[in-house]
Amino acid sequence: MTSCKQTTPIRATEDAVIVHVGRALNRLLRVSSKRQQAASVFDSVVPCNISIFEYLLHLWQYTECSNECFVLSAIYIDRLVRKNPIFRLTNKNIHRIVLTSLVLAIKYQDDHYYGNDVFARIGGIGVNELRFLELEFVDLLGCNFFVRPDVYEEYRRELAQATEKNPISVPKLAANVQPVQVAC
């Protein structure tokens, strides 16, 4: 179990990228959960102790990555599901898949980032497990992490439009976010 202390106030996001990605992941989870599949290496013994939306906020606050990484993470997850039709997103694997795809997006997109030990602590898993999950994700995607600018923009726009069509209240991201203990 990991404990993260809040040291800096949460950053503002102009386009509420966390809301957009969270909504998309919840939709993917609903669609994917209808597929039949045996357990995967991403499955935890029990579901994570926080919702996917809370987990995204937690990752967003503590990884200090660019908002673009969250869009790339969603693209990578979409590619994973499309390329591996028998792969199923579940409540037992979505948090680990999000963490792994986000770490890979950060390493691909951002110039400065933490080491795996910090990402693992933030994500609530062991560092060796994160390394293993990264290798598995890379293999499942066939090392395909490049996203053309037009594809990125299309995903970003679709994520935003999906939220606009079905508005949800954006939580107050400032003082209301409390440090959480993540166990995934």
Q: Round to the nearest angstrom and report the end-to-end CA distance of the chain.
A: 8
Which tens digits make up the pLDDT trace of 3-58?
333 333 334 444 467 766 777 777 777 666 666 566 788 888 888 888 888 888 88
pLDDT reported for residue 103: 96
**pLDDT tens figures, 149-180:** 999 998 888 877 765 555 444 444 433 444 45
141 CB-near residues (< 8 Å, 6+ apart):
76, 79, 80, 83
Its pTM stands at 0.78
Residue 142 Rama label (left phi>0; alpha psi -120 to 50; beta): left
CA distances from 35 to 26, 27, 87 (A): 15, 14, 8
For position 76, what pLDDT does the model report? 95
How many Cβ atoms from other residues are within 10 Å of residue 23's Cβ?
18
Radius of gyration of the chain (CA): 15
Q: How far apart are CA 102 and CA 107, in angstroms?
A: 9
Mean pLDDT of 113-129: 91
Residue 25 pLDDT: 76
pLDDT in tens, 74-118: 999 989 988 887 788 888 899 999 999 999 999 999 888 889 999
Structure-token pair, residue 166: 């079905």
